[in-house]
Amino acid sequence: MKIRAPMQFLPRWIRAYPREQFTTDLVAGLIVTVLVIPQSLAYALLAGLPPQAGLYVSIFPVIAYAFFGSSMTQAVGPVAITAIMTFTVLSPLETPGSPHYIALAASLSLFSGVLVLAFGVLRLGFLSQLLSRPVVSGFISGSAVLIVISQLKFLLGVKVTGSTTWQVISSLAGSVSQTRPMTLLIGGVALVVLYSSRKWLSSALLKTGLSSRNAGFVVRLMPLIVVVMATLLVVRFDLDQKHAVAVVGTVQEGLASFTFFAPSLDSLKILTVPALILALIGMVQNITMAQALAIKRRERIDANSELVGLGTANIVAAFYGGMPVGGGLSRSAVNVAAGAQSPLASIVSATAMLGIVATGTHWLARLPLAVLAASIVIAAISMIDIKAFRQAWSYDRADAFALLGTGLGVLVLGLELGIALGIGLSLATLLVRASTPHIAVIGRIAGSEHFRNVERHGVETIPGVLFLRIDESLFFGNLSAVESRLGTELEKAADTHDVVLIMSAVNRIDTTAMEVLTDINRELGSRKIRLHLAEVKGPVQDRLIRSPLWKALSGHVHLSVNDAFELLG
């Protein structure tokens, strides 16, 4: 047995680490730590968990991903989409924030982490392909609307009951008269400031001569500034006591210890489908983002390492913090903007967060919830991808409907049924398209060996010979379309004595199709019409040779359409 040097167990980026990068990564890591505090708290609250959970899972899970992931600049941590999924799945089962709820959230994180890790180890990353981009986009946009709806109660300062979208909306409508003015004011101002800074601050700063990177940086800094200002206002004017402005409240002080547990069989049963969806969406999100980041840096990522990294991060998160994590768009953007060159920046940020949590987080107690809600709403709004819908609409209506169906499904039916609807719609589209193949009667462009659709081009044809090109693999679902088109064409040209099926775009012929072609061959034979095939692909021909059709074929198999044209002309 070969003994490996200990270094070999370290990820490649550490072994080949260029020393001159160290300062950049160090500074970037420290900046990121401070910038992600507001969103870490916000997403923990969004998930229905205690705020410190968001800080805890910004420590060890981040380190786990730094070791096992393959992306140089992606930052993992609490993200909006996994937070809202956690809340939507668990809130109908338990009261958010209750010990049972917290335990279920940790189990969900563990379960989905194990699934993602297994997908990575077994190299099943391609399974995330089940989700087409329109479905993922619809899912995220739908979830974003769910997020906005879930935060309205904090912005208005009212209590809301119910877990489905309709229940929440009607409960909101009923209690809107109890809106607390001061809460609404604070939240509203935060919303306006954050929205304006996203929309106009960057370009305004660019006009003052600031570099694009620094301008982006100031924009990223705004949530922290707003949070700090709002907290100072609460403290200065005792808004929480005098005007009933809801605040974060008691935060558990100091570091948590690792909590190891084995999830109960009951919770596994309840969580199977949610964990699978969380895993699939997490995989897609993570790989897509890691790829986008890698392309900019001309690096490559390894999809399966990504899954190992994400899975491990979630397993660690289950035991320390108890909240699912993912690859976050805004987290990674902060990381890149701060100049991170390698996962070392993440390790620095995790360590700094460890320090912050250890030193104490009592200053979070009087942070107004309305401001956190405002920052969540702003993040959620940026997740609603109108452009993707518009593009799908102009390119392919069916995909646009799948997107819309998923989004509305998530809103009206819930996450599981919403995504199931989306997958159903995209598979149905696939089947319906394959069942209605494009079939063209073709002829030869005079003086050439090129053949084209008789309806699109002026071409020469041979009387009594029908050249039919089928632009689809033949399978049980599209044979009646082929049969009925053939019937129509034969009715149009009653003197037909030879039919040539051009198979250049037929990539497969299944058993049903082979049998139906055999039937067609026999039926045509009884009407004294010969059936020919042309341009049969190698793999298709390898199969057909073993079939009864091959022996029974009344005509010939031609290598090219032109050969058939010359022979029958």
Q: Report the interface residues with a copy of itself, using CB under 8 A.
A: 125-126, 129-134, 291, 295, 298, 303, 391-392, 394-396, 399, 426-427, 429-431, 433-435, 437-438, 449-450, 453, 456, 471-473, 475-481, 504-505, 507-508, 510-512, 514-515, 519, 522-523, 526-527, 537-539, 543, 546-548, 560
Run of H or E residues at 329: helix 329-337
Q: What ranges in 414-547 are assigned the alpha helix state H?
A: 415-435, 479-492, 511-526, 538-544
Decide whether 460 or 542 has the Cβ nearer to a copy of itself: 542
Can you spell out the DSSP letters for 529-565?
A: -EEEEES--HHHHHHHTTSHHHHH-SS-EESSHHHHH
Decide whether 129 or 212 has the Cβ nearer to a copy of itself: 129
Write down the least CB distance from residue 431 to a copy of itself, Å: 7
* 565/502 Cα distance (integer angstroms): 11
* 24/284 Cα distance (integer angstroms): 30
Write down the least CB distance from residue 344 to a copy of itself, Å: 25
Write down the least CB distance from residue 540 to a copy of itself, Å: 9
Decide whether 315 or 544 has the Cβ nearer to a copy of itself: 544
* 15/7 Cα distance (integer angstroms): 7
Write down the least CB distance from residue 547 to a copy of itself, Å: 5
Decide whether 296 or 362 has the Cβ nearer to a copy of itself: 296
Write down the least CB distance from residue 378 to a copy of itself, Å: 26
CB 54 within 8 Å of CB 44: yes
Decide whether 365 or 567 has the Cβ nearer to a copy of itself: 567
CB within 8 Å of 287: residues ≥ 6 apart: 125, 128, 301, 303, 306, 307
Write down the least CB distance from residue 338 to a copy of itself, Å: 23
CB 333 within 8 Å of CB 293: no
Write down the least CB distance from residue 440 to a copy of itself, Å: 9
Decide whether 162 or 477 has the Cβ nearer to a copy of itself: 477
Decide whether 131 or 371 has the Cβ nearer to a copy of itself: 131
Can you spell out the DSSP letters for 185-227?
A: HHHHHHHHHHHHIIIIIHHHHHHTT--HHHHHHHHHHHHHHHH
Please name every residue paired with 285 in a beta bridge, in sequence order, or none if there are none: none
* 569/558 Cα distance (integer angstroms): 14
Write down the least CB distance from residue 546 to a copy of itself, Å: 5
Q: What are phi and psi of 208, to 5 degrees?
A: -75, 0
CB 442 within 8 Å of CB 565: no
Decide whether 304 or 346 has the Cβ nearer to a copy of itself: 304
- Look at residues 546, 542, 566, 568 and name the one whose alpha carbon lies nearest to residue 555: 568
* 41/324 Cα distance (integer angstroms): 14
- Compute the 3-state secondary structure of the chain and give helix, strand, coil in percent, each to the nearest 5: 65, 5, 25
Decide whether 153 or 530 has the Cβ nearer to a copy of itself: 530
Write down the least CB distance from residue 148 to a copy of itself, Å: 25
Write down the least CB distance from residue 552 to a copy of itself, Å: 13
> How does DSSP classify residue 9?
G
Neighbours of 247 (CB within 10 A): 21
Parallel, antiparallel, or unpaired: how do β-strands 76-77 and 326-327 relate?
antiparallel
Write down the least CB distance from residue 396 to a copy of itself, Å: 5
**Three-class secondary structure of residue 78 per DSSP:** coil
Decide whether 219 or 404 has the Cβ nearer to a copy of itself: 404
Decide whether 301 or 317 has the Cβ nearer to a copy of itself: 301
